[in-house]
């Protein structure tokens, strides 16, 4: 496999689209581009029935993200912000119940009346406890294809039980489902919930920050508690909006490849955009264990330039990214580079620890000042102190640059694996 002279990352394609040729090509690609290529196990590529299965065996610790994806679906997600989905996410509450966390607009879930805080009791006739016992979360929602029907038993906030059937369809991701300007004492605080870094996110972010500029917002709460990442170029745009005006021309982040591609190491600088906030006193990020990748990059790279705090739970821990290599209607996305901020800090594989721990208050709407994580963020902005933990919980404030092992994220029906490994 030889690279084109004008692009060191152009590896052409396999000799044919027969599985053995695909596997051989992907293995050679990994041997050259993979960040941990020197530690990869030796294996026979012809023993695997797909390049995806082979890549899963080639991954080395701490890699959980290198993968092969369907190109059409990957393009739909990252370029159009569309995915085959039912239109909702779930989380576990303190009683280990499966609870609806978000519902996107104009989706099967919203049409059926699902709301944040609804409890899912059964899926496809199986109680959630049975799904746990039989470890069937990976299959319980069926194939990721339009037209697949899923039966749910749902308990609404008023205690009413309802059986609903949702049918999967192509839906547009609601990338900025909530923006508000909140009055906190004599401060105007901008709140923004952000779900994923795809190309359609840029316009939505510009609109939100234009609103914040108009309101003379100087403190911002960025809610990325369910944001699993996406495109780094969109994360960089977000950095410009938050810190570009106060750190124009300064380093945003550095990219570091393996030794074979050391000449391709790069760094990117912050830029002042028309929508950048002219003054930024404090940025508070709301996070959970589902906060990953581009979300963590955003937090890590804004921190050297403005005051940053984290509220919620420890992030998922993905300080690396991937290049895409298209072949045979698929995309190989091996982890190919590390990401460091202006202070050369990265490698937070155990996650970023919150300044102020706070629960994900599923009983309250996102953006409601009474919701526990947002209430903690607003209290921190107003007083400089964390709210005490809920009664019976012994959480203590941590170092935002510190590390601890994150909790396992809750099972989700619409988890887009592409977000975990793509740049």
Length of the chain: 423
Q: How far apart are CA 204 and CA 193, in angstroms?
A: 11
Determine the pLDDT at residue 1: 52
The reply to whether 120 and 228 lie within a common domain is: no
The reply to whether 95 and 233 lie within a common domain is: no
The reply to whether 394 and 258 lie within a common domain is: yes
The reply to whether 164 and 184 lie within a common domain is: no
Q: How far apart are CA 152 and CA 141, in angstroms?
A: 10
The reply to whether 233 and 115 lie within a common domain is: no
Q: Which of these, 142, 140, 139, 147, lies nearest to 126 by C-alpha position?
A: 140
Token pair 């899926």 is found at 123
CATH number for 101: 2.30.42.10
- List, for residues 354-373, the tens digit of each pLDDT value: 999 999 999 999 999 999 99
The reply to whether 253 and 401 lie within a common domain is: yes
Lowest mean pLDDT among 137-151, 320-334, 407-421: 407-421
Q: Which of these, 156, 55, 107, 74, lies nearest to 363 by C-alpha position?
A: 156
Domain that holds residue 300: 178-421
Which residue, of 115, 150, 172, is where some domain finishes? 172
Q: How confident is the model at residue 419 (pLDDT cuts 50, 70, 90)?
A: very low
- First-to-final CA distance of the chain: 23
Which residue, of 172, 191, 215, is where some domain finishes? 172
Structural domain includes residue 331: yes
Which residue, of 131, 146, 172, is where some domain finishes? 172
The upper half-sphere exposure of residue 133, i.e. CA atoms within 13 Å in the direction of its Cβ, equals 5
SS3 175: coil
The reply to whether 157 and 185 lie within a common domain is: no
CB atoms under 10 Å from CB of 251, counted, come to 18
The reply to whether 182 and 124 lie within a common domain is: no
The reply to whether 321 and 340 lie within a common domain is: yes
The reply to whether 160 and 291 lie within a common domain is: no
Structural domain includes residue 283: yes
pTM of the complete model? 0.89
Token pair 């403190």 is found at 219
CATH number for 349: 3.90.226.10
Cα Rg, the chain, nearest whole Å: 22
Q: How far apart are CA 214 and CA 222, in angstroms?
A: 18
The reply to whether 202 and 149 lie within a common domain is: no
Determine the pLDDT at residue 7: 84
The pairing of strands 88-92 and 178-184 is unpaired
Structural domain includes residue 38: no
| pLDDT value at 300 more than 90 | yes
- List, for residues 35-72, the tens digit of each pLDDT value: 999 999 999 999 999 999 999 999 999 999 999 998 88
- Please give the tally of structural domains in the chain: 2
> DSSP code of 275?
T
The reply to whether 310 and 325 lie within a common domain is: yes
């Amino acid at each position: 496999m030889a690279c084109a002279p004008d692009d060191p990352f152009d590896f052409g394609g396999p000799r044919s689209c027969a599985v053995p040729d695909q596997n051989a090509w992907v293995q050679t690609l990994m041997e050259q581009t993979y960040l941990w290529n020197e530690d990869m196990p030796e294996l026979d590529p012809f023993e695997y029935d797909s390049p995806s299965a082979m890549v899963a065996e080639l991954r080395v610790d701490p890699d959980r993200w290198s993968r092969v994806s369907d190109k059409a679906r990957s393009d739909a997600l990252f370029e159009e912000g569309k995915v085959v989905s039912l239109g909702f996410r779930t989380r576990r509450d303190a009683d280990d119940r499966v609870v609806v966390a978000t519902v996107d607009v104009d989706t099967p879930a919203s049409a059926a009346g699902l709301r944040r805080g609804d409890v899912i009791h059964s899926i496809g006739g199986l109680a959630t406890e049975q799904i746990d016992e039989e470890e069937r979360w990976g299959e319980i929602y069926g194939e990721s294809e339009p037209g697949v029907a899923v039966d749910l038993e749902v308990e609404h906030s008023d205690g009413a039980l309802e059986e609903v059937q949702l049918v999967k369809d192509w839906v547009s991701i609601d990338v900025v489902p909530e923006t508000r300007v909140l009055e906190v004492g004599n401060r105007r605080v901008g709140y923004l919930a952000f779900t994923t870094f795809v190309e359609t996110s840029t316009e939505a972010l510009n609109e939100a920050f234009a609103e914040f500029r108009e309101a003379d917002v100087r403190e911002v709460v960025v809610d990325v508690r369910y944001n699993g990442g996406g495109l780094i170029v969109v994360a960089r745009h977000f950095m410009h909006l938050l810190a570009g005006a106060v750190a124009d021309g300064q380093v945003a982040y550095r990219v570091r490849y393996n030794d074979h591609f050391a000449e391709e190491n790069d760094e990117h600088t912050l830029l002042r955009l028309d929508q950048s906030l002219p003054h930024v006193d404090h940025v508070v990020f709301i996070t959970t264990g589902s906060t990953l990748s581009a979300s963590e990059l955003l937090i890590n790279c804004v921190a050297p330039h403005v005051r940053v705090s984290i509220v919620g739970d420890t992030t998922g821990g993905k300080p690396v990214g991937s290049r895409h290599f298209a072949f045979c209607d698929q995309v190989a996305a091996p982890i190919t580079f590390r990401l460091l901020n202006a202070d050369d800090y990265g490698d937070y594989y155990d996650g970023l620890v919150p300044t102020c721990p706070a629960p994900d208050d599923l009983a309250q709407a996102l953006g409601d000042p009474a919701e526990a994580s947002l209430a903690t963020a607003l209290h921190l902005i107003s007083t400089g102190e964390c709210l005490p933990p809920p009664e019976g919980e012994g959480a203590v404030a941590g170092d935002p640059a510190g590390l601890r092992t994150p909790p396992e994220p809750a099972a989700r029906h619409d988890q887009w694996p592409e977000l975990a490994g793509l740049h």
